[in-house]
Amino acid sequence: MDIKILLFLIVATSLETVGDAVVRMGMSQTAWPLRGGLFLAGAGLLFGYGFCLNLPPVEFGRIVGLYIATLFIVWQITNFVVFGSLPGLPVWLGGTLIVIGGLIVTFWE
């Protein structure tokens, strides 16, 4: 596995999770200029995620497991940093299975 692919996945999942968080923040705003600005910022981040995810010169099916594992980890970090929310035991246990499964899908040949 090339380190560049992992870096692309980290950047893509960061853009996705932060973009989603920004859109969620916009949904709770009542002031339309702020709401619209957050929606536009979220849309830009989500576009960046889609663009970045398709940059690596590798078939997505080969890295989808690693993508899902990375997405889970980055989402938990984003959820804590942006919303101050720590995952509970079910999320930790389920997330462990997600990461193990992602590694199996990616590296078991």
Dump pLDDT digits (tens) for 71-82.
Answer: 999 999 999 999
pLDDT the model gives residue 72: 96
State the chain's mean pLDDT as an integer.
92
* Angle, alpha carbons 11-94-3 (nearest 5°): 30
Length in residues, the chain: 109
pLDDT score of 1 more than 80? no
Please give the Cα distance from 33 to 95 (Å, whole number).
Answer: 37
Domain extent at residue 68:
3-107
Contact 56, 4 (CB under 8 A): yes
Tally the domains of the chain. 1
Mean pLDDT over residues 42-55, rounded? 92
Contact 11, 45 (CB under 8 A): no
